[in-house]
Amino acid sequence: MSAGKTLYLNVSQITEVHSKDVHLKDIATIFCDDKNAENRCNTIKVKAIRSDRDRRYVENVLDIINKIQTTYPDIQVNNVGEVDYIIDYHAPKKPKLLWEWSKTIFVCAISFFGAAFAIMTFNNDVNVTDVFKEIYMIVTGKQSNGFTVLEVSYSVGLFIGIVGFFNHFAKYKINTDPTPLEVEMRLYEENICKTLIDNDGRKESDIDVT
């Protein structure tokens, strides 16, 4: 390889893998003017997993740079991605469709009934029923039977508001923005990654939050 070549390395913060032999192409995106060098670097083995258990491994990009420059001493590596990254190993398993669907249905049921209970509790706390009855009496001069245009409008508006807020109904999205649930899941994942990296880099064993 000729001198002066630069390889740009972009490692993802966390990558799920299913093979015990983890190569650079599995966890990172690289670019180099020398495509032959780029292809060979992609095949560099960055980690060999020995355990059969599902586990997350915290690694440092310096090990990757060392492996690249051991193979190609004349190449300059420019890291534009993460310094500490996580390999999330999951052993290959047969898909369990019944179990996956059961978990999905369970989570949907909890979310639905939990939200319904929260809405009913809120309505009861602020006494929405009596408020609607009073408004209906003031405007029409008639006694409300509990099923008027106010209740119908409120129910329809509540549904539209929920769909608009979550930006999602079934498989359809109102726009291309991420939903609040997607945002929260990404924040949760980032916090998990940060905690794993911080815990791995902790040198003191006697003092810890746990």
CATH (domain of 60) = 2.60.480.10
Residue 37 lies in a domain: yes
Q: Of 89, 110, 136, which marks where a domain is finished?
A: 89
Q: What is the pLDDT of residue 1?
A: 42
Q: Give me the domain span that covers residue 129.
A: 97-201
Along the 210 residues of the chain, how does pLDDT read in single tens digits? 445 689 999 999 999 999 999 999 999 999 998 888 899 999 999 999 998 889 999 999 999 999 998 888 888 999 998 899 999 999 888 888 888 899 989 988 998 898 889 888 888 888 888 888 888 888 888 888 888 888 889 889 888 888 888 777 767 777 777 888 888 888 999 899 888 888 887 755 555 555
**In a domain? residue 122:** yes
DSSP state of 184: H
Write the DSSP string, 89-100.
E-------HHHH
> Do 106 and 197 sit in the same domain of this protein?
yes
| DSSP calls for 21-89 | EEEHHHHEEEEES-HHHHHHHHT-EEEE----S-EEEEEEHHHHHHHHHHH-TTPEEEE-S-SEEEEEE
Q: Which two tokens stand for residue 200?
A: 């791995």
Domain count, the chain: 2
* Closest to 63 measured CA to CA, from 89, 42, 38, 45: 45
Assigned domain for 117 exists: yes
Chain mean position to CA 165: 19
Which of residues 46, 71, 89 is at a domain's end?
89
Q: Are residues 85 and 101 in the same domain?
A: no
Residue located via tokens 């769909």:
163
